[in-house]
Amino acid sequence: MKGKDSNKNTAVRIKDIAEKAGVSTGTVDRVLHNRGRVSEQVKEKVLRIAKELNYEPNMLARALVSKREYKIAALIPDSTLDSYWGGPQEGIEKAGHDLKQYGVTITQHIFNQFNVDTFRKEAEKVSELAYDGILTAPVFYRESLTFLNRWKREGIPFNLFNTHIPDYEPLAYIGQDSYQSGLLAAKMLHYGVQKPTSFVVAHIDEDVPNSSHLIKKEQGFQDYFDQYTSNEFHIIHEELTHGNDQVFFAKQMDKIITKNPEISGFFVTTSKAYTIASYLKSKNLKKIRLVGYDLLKKNLDFLDEGYIDFLINQNPIGQGYYGIQLLIDHLIFKKEIPPIKYLPLDIITRENLHYYINSGI
């Protein structure tokens, strides 16, 4: 008959430690939770036995009975100015609902992503309010560095989403691998095209030099085609403005198309593929391929009509949700957090679109 390992696959209870140490469960509880008065001799004995038995505290139960409140700040762009940011906001609010029972409260600090002064103002406010953790999308790269450095010095854990800045050691980055998504976009546009041809990398209403994730997407796209001879593919880099002004935007597009009639595809580095799709529709240019990001309604409508060929889903809801969840895993449940949580590069087409609609995180 095989001997029985009493610890294997069995959770060690405070009662088990108490029996082996010859003390009350109350004494063990005081030692393990570092509260109340216990002699050093008894304390050392209880801790030694707990270690021998491989005792693991029930962090879930501890969090439920704890009366401590955890205040989290979400420093995020304004979704009324760009509907993409409604996704992260929804994820943050869902996380707040799910974690409320653990004493978690989340305060949203909204800034205008087209006005750096509003970012500075809200980031300063976050810094002064002594939050336990911070989630932010550092869309203003240079201006974010001052605050990331400050939070790091003050020992405030912070997570980044949408844009990764590894040098300032966030607790975690949640989002896509921007460089790989650029490679993916290039590969999708490459299939079946006649050579030689040109592709356009289009940034729309963005401060590109101050947006590291857009630069990485562009670099991934360029690197993909650099493996081919220089006369096969010509990559055109354009920074377009006034995406909401159809007349002004159309003039920019007319200039690009007239100057480069061999263009066979556009890669839009943000969620605004619908601006170029609207132009292509107005000119009945269905032969020009278009790849962009995100399941915004305007993008979905043009995907269904065939003026957008592929969308890369960045799972903005998941970025907000996991951004908060990982902070709480660190603060309350004392889990070891991976420094990067890459979300999948999902390719959305008209044929598989309905599987992703309302699919949440």
**pLDDT tens digits, residue range 139-187?**
999 999 999 999 999 999 999 999 999 888 899 999 999 999 999 999 9
Q: Examine residue 264 and state whether it is found in any structural domain, yes or no.
A: yes
* Strand ranges (E), the chain: 70-77, 104-111, 133-136, 158-161, 172-175, 197-204, 233-240, 263-268, 289-293, 310-313, 340-342, 346-348
The domain boundary residue, chosen from 294, 313, 332: 313
Residue 286: predicted pLDDT: 87
Residues 321 and 274 in one domain: no
Of 101, 95, 98, 108, the residue nearest 69 (C-alpha): 101
Cα gap 233→229, rounded to integer Å: 8
Cα gap 131→149, rounded to integer Å: 16
pTM for the model: 0.80
Residue 342: predicted pLDDT: 96
Chain-wide mean pLDDT for the chain?
91
The percent helix, strand, coil of the chain (3-state, each to 5) is: 45, 20, 35
Residues 137 and 231 in one domain: no
Buried b (16+ CB within 10 A) or exposed e, 222-247: bebbeeeeeeebebeeeebeebeeee
Helix (H) or strand (E) holding 20: helix 14-21
* Per-residue confidence band for 231, with pLDDT thresholds at 50, 70 and 90: confident
- Tell whether the model's pLDDT for residue 57 goes beyond 70: no
Q: Examine residue 280 and state whether it is found in any structural domain, yes or no.
A: yes
For residue 114, give both structure tokens. 């087209």
Lowest-confidence region among 56-60, 188-192, 194-198, 281-285? 56-60
Q: Examine residue 8 and state whether it is found in any structural domain, yes or no.
A: no
Q: Examine residue 330 and state whether it is found in any structural domain, yes or no.
A: yes
* Per-residue confidence band for 31, with pLDDT thresholds at 50, 70 and 90: confident
Cα gap 295→356, rounded to integer Å: 9
Residues 299 and 182 in one domain: yes
Domain hosting 227: range is: 178-313
Residue 5: predicted pLDDT: 43
Distances (CA, A) of 169 to 157, 206, 341: 9, 25, 14
CATH number of the domain where residue 202 is located: 3.40.50.2300
Q: Examine residue 110 and state whether it is found in any structural domain, yes or no.
A: yes
Residues 235 and 257 in one domain: yes
Distances (CA, A) of 305 to 151, 265, 308, 355: 47, 17, 8, 18
Q: Which residue has the higher pLDDT, 248 or 53?
A: 248
- Tell whether the model's pLDDT for residue 101 goes beyond 90: no
Residues 81 and 154 in one domain: yes
Residues 133 and 196 in one domain: no
Q: Which residue has the higher pLDDT, 62 or 41?
A: 41
Residues 244 and 309 in one domain: yes
Q: Which residue has the higher pLDDT, 57 or 351?
A: 351
Helices and strands in the chain, H and E counts: 13, 12
Residues 320 and 304 in one domain: no
Residue 62: predicted pLDDT: 59
* Per-residue confidence band for 358, with pLDDT thresholds at 50, 70 and 90: low
Q: Examine residue 275 and state whether it is found in any structural domain, yes or no.
A: yes
Lowest-confidence region among 19-28, 68-77, 234-243? 19-28
Lowest-confidence region among 8-17, 116-125, 275-284, 304-313? 8-17
Q: Examine residue 361 and state whether it is found in any structural domain, yes or no.
A: no
The mean per-residue pLDDT over the stretch 334-341 comes to 92
CATH number of the domain where residue 25 is located: 1.10.260.40
Residue 164: predicted pLDDT: 92
Cis previous bond, 196, omega within 30? yes
Residues 143 and 19 in one domain: no
Q: Examine residue 355 and state whether it is found in any structural domain, yes or no.
A: no
Residues 325 and 291 in one domain: no
Residues 100 and 193 in one domain: no
Tell me how many domains the chain contains.
3
Of 290, 256, 254, the residue nearest 270 (C-alpha): 290
Residues 203 and 166 in one domain: no
